[in-house]
């Protein structure tokens, strides 16, 4: 018996896991397959006759309209991505294959949900630039920002400061209370440091319990002295009650100034690191019992 393919095609379209859209030259949806309910949360009868732009993410409208123009001019595409707003308010990432059909006077697109892939890509991009525990800038990106800041400071004859922080006696927290508690303390330190800086400054975790702070466009050493006092004060604030009797550890901070203490990244990092160790040594001597 011969198969009536013409009758079978509509059923096949509605069986597809990807969503098929047909949109007229006035940007109104004239057909959408059943898979759209899983994609956007709308039934086909809710979408038909409405402008498709109504459901596009506002931040993607410009790029999407440019893509639509290309498609309507005969440039089919198979790799355009954008975001749509679901009926429940959620955001879905879509990969499109689309072409313009002169025969029906509409553009036909197949939409695939790639939200999981897009979020995984975003996470990988984030991890490439940030410390996975504290979410601060990582060592590699901090180095790039320091070099860029030095270039700007040299060009504009401005100053900057580099702070190198080490958490005192942090090893004992891990040894006595466990690494999970130590990790929570590191995250708290990260947030406290961020709260002490401007949006134009950079806080980074260099590894372990070492942090750096890049302060750009500074006007005097007095300003950095006040910043150091602020950091020490904020860091000395008690831990939340859930930490019990555990006290917030203090920190030792070394500071290097451009251009007085160095004119390149390596020199400034070395200088601030050495200053930090001098602070730790002085703290040890101050705490050493007399006569021992």
3-state secondary structure of 198: coil
Would residue 209 show up in a list of annotated catalytic residues for this protein? yes
With contact defined as beta carbons under 8 Å apart, do 204 and 215 qualify? no
The Cα 134–Cα 170 span in angstroms is 16
Which candidate in 209, 222, 261, 266 is catalytic? 209
With contact defined as beta carbons under 8 Å apart, do 68 and 96 qualify? no
The Cα 226–Cα 59 span in angstroms is 41
Picking from 169, 29, 222, the residue whose alpha carbon sits closest to that of residue 111 is 29
3-state secondary structure of 239: coil
- Strands (DSSP E) contained in 102-218 are 106-113, 159-167, 202-207, 210-218
With contact defined as beta carbons under 8 Å apart, do 258 and 161 qualify? yes
The Cα 119–Cα 121 span in angstroms is 5
- Catalytic residue list: 209
């Amino acid at each position: 018996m011969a198969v009536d393919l013409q009758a079978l095609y509509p059923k096949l379209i509605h069986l597809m896991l990807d969503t098929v859209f047909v949109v007229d030259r006035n940007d109104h949806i004239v057909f959408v397959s059943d898979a759209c309910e899983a994609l956007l949360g709308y039934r086909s009868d809710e979408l038909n006759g409405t402008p498709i732009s109504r459901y596009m993410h506002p931040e993607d409208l410009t790029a999407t309209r440019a893509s639509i123009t290309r498609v309507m001019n005969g440039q089919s595409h198979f790799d355009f991505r954008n975001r749509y707003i679901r009926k429940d308010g959620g955001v879905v990432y879509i990969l499109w294959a689309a072409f313009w059909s002169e025969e029906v006077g509409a553009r036909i697109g197949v939409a695939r949900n790639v939200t999981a892939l897009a979020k995984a890509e975003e996470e990988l991009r984030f991890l490439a630039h940030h410390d996975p525990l504290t979410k601060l800038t990582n060592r590699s990106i901090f180095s790039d920002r320091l070099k860029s800041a030095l270039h700007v400071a040299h060009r504009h004859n401005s100053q900057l400061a580099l702070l190198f922080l080490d958490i005192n006696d942090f090893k004992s927290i891990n040894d006595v209370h466990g690494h999970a508690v130590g990790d929570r303390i590191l995250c708290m330190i990260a947030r406290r440091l961020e709260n002490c800086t401007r949006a134009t400054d950079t806080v980074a975790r260099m590894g372990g319990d070492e942090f750096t702070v890049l302060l750009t466009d500074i006007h005097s050493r007095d300003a950095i002295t006040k910043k150091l006092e602020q950091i020490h004060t904020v860091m000395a604030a008690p831990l939340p009650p859930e930490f019990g009797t555990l006290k917030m550890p203090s920190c030792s901070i070394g500071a290097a100034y451009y251009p007085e203490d160095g004119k390149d990244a390596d020199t400034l990092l070395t200088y601030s690191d050495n200053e930090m160790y001098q602070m730790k040594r002085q703290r040890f001597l101050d705490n050493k019992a007399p006569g021992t």
